[in-house]
Structure 1
Amino acid sequence: MQNWRDAAQRNLWLADAMLLMVAIIWGSSYAVAKQALWFYPVLGFLAIRFGLTFVLLVPQLRGDGRRAIRPGLPLGLVMLCIFLCETWGVMLTTASNAAFLISLCVVFTPFVEWAMLRQRPSNLLFAACLMSLAGVWLLTGGMAISLNLGDGLMIVAAVLRAILVCLTRRLTADREVPPLALTAVQSGVVAAGCLVLGLSLPGGLPALPQSPAFWAAALYLVGFATLFALYVQNLALGRTSATRVSLLMGSEPLFGALIAGLWLEERLTLTQWSGGLLIVVATLGTLRFGRAMAPTVGESRAQTAHPGASVN
């Protein structure tokens, strides 16, 4: 019996460590994406990133994976809108702001469920929403508020992520849709949509970038922030509780801000740090006490293929 308990404890700690690693990877993805955008425009970057993801996951569409095609097409269109907002948002704001603001999707989700599924959030969720709004106010300047276009796009992306999670639940309810197959379809839609949009612009897309830094960033987002992260999340959910997963993944915005500071030399003021921490606390409160438990940032990213990162 004691050996069994020891083994269970080791599995729990291993799952926690792996989830924390994913939180760090997703946190880093904002800075990685911002760096990639130095070398190639948004539409081309997304077409490459999700095209590679689709190619790697296309074998998942065999057999039962075909069930993902019908729900995956409309969900992929929503995801296309999300990543366009997120990627342009990351380009136009700081990576640290992007990391904090996208986490608002966890707070928005219960309210989208209320609108779509008629499930009223608890009073604690209303309090969490007010706390998040206060956090956004502080993060974007406090008394001298200066919500720029990039910040606004990240907030729109957070709302769209909440919509995508609820729509995913609706379209996949009572259907055994393999998650990797669903990610494959969504990735294909995003890649195709960005390619069509990019080629339709005057001058089209530029030649493929030659910089090793760009390709390293793209492969990192595909390999680690998408495929590895999805595998770890699915593995961890079989070894630990959803609440524990939520709490660990809720640390992603903090890692995003820290890595942006170390890598891109972005600096947050004390007021901005206070705002970011309020958003994180509100997010964790939503995950812990929400009546209709909102998905974690990680869960929403997985269901949106998160590929990594939102733009990440």
Structure 2
Amino acid sequence: MHSTLSLAPASPLAPRLSDLALLLVAVVWGTSYGVAKGALVFYPVLGFLAVRFLLTFALLLPALLRAPAPERRDALAAGLPLGALMLGIFLCETFGLALTQASNAAFLISLCVVFTPFAEWWLLRQRPGRAMFAFAAVSLLGAALLSGGFSGQWGWGDALMLAAAVLRAITVCQTTRLARRRNAPVLALTAVQAGVIGLGSLLLALALPGTLPPLPSLSDGSAFWLACVYLVLGCTVFAFVVQNWALRHSPPTRVGLLMGSEPAFGALFAVFWLGEQLSPTAWLGGALIVGAALWTMARRSPSPA
């Protein structure tokens, strides 16, 4: 029996499990920036993205091939456009981080939390409850305190991070929209998305001369390959599957807010694993982000009118 993206009746516990799973994804994704940064020491951005997502595609390909023909067609129909959106997200995020200050990047990507209610309203014609706008505002304030706000300078990196935040909000809503029309198994859908991202990154790398050097060896580049394994299994397979499943049980704004706790967990990882320091103001910002996520877990969003 396949786990699908159809909106089948769910158990009363499903929303709570969805919230907890999304918070765990936020924890895992919070660690991904430091891990990916270490991997990029060994290999350039496009090549790294190609390796990460083509490995993911190879791992999940059996699930796609085993799916019944109608479900496989649904996975392709939904996964191709969603994969294209996610390719844009990863390209904007990765290159944006290389071109802007970390504080600006953290603040801008967290704007996804604010953009999602408006994307939901625009794309799905569903106005979120007033409380969700308040939760989003608290989360955004926390992200600003955590990152230190803007430095007053605006560049290409800032624009790319802003674009990534917009694409994140749109992708959450588009996944929900397609879930209502398609009966795609979650693993098969994730395989298609990963294939689009991996192949797109590879084609871009091949099109740009000098951007695809030989892969690091297992002996000299063990840190690169360990990072790839962690990102593939934890930050890609686990995170993509959980997010696709959770969107069956939670409205897009709620999902966006819970995922918006990612900067706080990234800061904790930086402190305890990378040895970075945080100011009291940054700690307050992280507490507000996590508090907003826990607050939204304590109550369900009202159904759209």
- Normalised by the length of structure 1, the TM-score is 0.72
Indicate which of 35, 42, 45 corresponds to 1:42. 45
Q: How far apart, in 2, do the equivalents of 1:242 and 1:129 lie?
A: 15
Query: Could you tell me which residue of structure 2 aligns to residue 88 of structure 1?
Result: 95
Any residues of structure 2 matched to 1:117-136 within 5 Å, and which?
A: 117-136=124-143
Compute the displacement of 1:75 (Å): 1.2
Query: Could you tell me which residue of structure 2 aligns to residue 219 of structure 1?
Result: 229
Letter in 1 for 2:55: L
Indicate which of 280, 286, 289 corresponds to 1:270. 280
- Is contact 1:99-1:257 (8 Å) kept? no
Any stretches of 5+ residues in structure 2 without a counterpart? Answer: 1-16
Compute the displacement of 1:22 (Å): 5.0
Quick check: which one's helix share is greater?
1
- Is contact 1:95-1:260 (8 Å) kept? no
Report sequence identity in percent. Answer: 59
Query: Could you tell me which residue of structure 2 aligns to residue 8 of structure 1?
Result: none
Query: Could you tell me which residue of structure 1 aligns to residue 8 of structure 2?
Result: none
Q: How far apart, in 1, do the equivalents of 2:243 and 2:208 lie?
A: 38
Compute the displacement of 1:254 (Å): 2.7
Does structure 1 residue 202 correspond to structure 2 residue 209? yes
Q: Any idea what SS the aligned residue of 2:183 has?
A: coil
Q: Aligned in 2, Cα 1:127/1:267: closer, same or farther, shift over 3 Å?
A: same
- Normalised by the length of structure 2, the TM-score is 0.74
Compute the displacement of 1:53 (Å): 0.4
Q: How far apart, in 2, do the equivalents of 1:209 and 1:75 lie?
A: 30
Q: How far apart, in 2, do the equivalents of 1:83 and 1:159 lie?
A: 12
Query: Could you tell me which residue of structure 1 aligns to residue 263 of structure 2?
Result: 253
Q: Any idea what SS the aligned residue of 1:121 has?
A: coil
Compute the displacement of 1:234 (Å): 8.8
Q: How far apart, in 1, do the equivalents of 2:155 and 2:211 lie?
A: 28
Q: For residues 134-167 of structure 1, give each alpha carbon's deviation from its aligned partner in whole angstroms, at most 9, with x where no partner exists.
A: 3344344358555675555444323211101111
- Is contact 2:84-2:196 (8 Å) kept? yes
Compute the displacement of 1:23 (Å): 4.8
Query: Could you tell me which residue of structure 2 aligns to residue 51 of structure 1?
Result: 54
Q: How far apart, in 1, do the equivalents of 2:210 and 2:294 lie?
A: 46
- Is contact 2:107-2:147 (8 Å) kept? no
Compute the displacement of 1:20 (Å): 6.8
Compute the displacement of 1:86 (Å): 1.9
Q: For residues 197-255 of structure 1, give each alpha carbon's deviation from its aligned partner in whole angstroms, at most 9, with x where no partner exists.
A: 111113241121231111110111112223345667899999xx969x97987754332
Query: Could you tell me which residue of structure 2 aligns to residue 192 of structure 1?
Result: 199
Q: For residues 68-98 of structure 1, give each alpha carbon's deviation from its aligned partner in whole angstroms, at most 9, with x where no partner exists.
A: 1112111111110011112223445677876
Aligned residues: 278
Any stretches of 5+ residues in structure 1 without a counterpart? Answer: 1-13, 294-312
Q: For residues 149-190 of structure 1, give each alpha carbon's deviation from its aligned partner in whole angstroms, at most 9, with x where no partner exists.
A: 555544432321110111122223132111111111111111
Letter in 2 for 1:208: L
Query: Could you tell me which residue of structure 2 aligns to residue 72 of structure 1?
Result: 79
- Is contact 1:25-1:225 (8 Å) kept? yes
Deviates more, 1:170-179 or 1:86-95: 86-95
Deviates more, 1:223-232 or 1:92-101: 92-101
Q: How far apart, in 1, do the equivalents of 2:155 and 2:283 lie?
A: 18
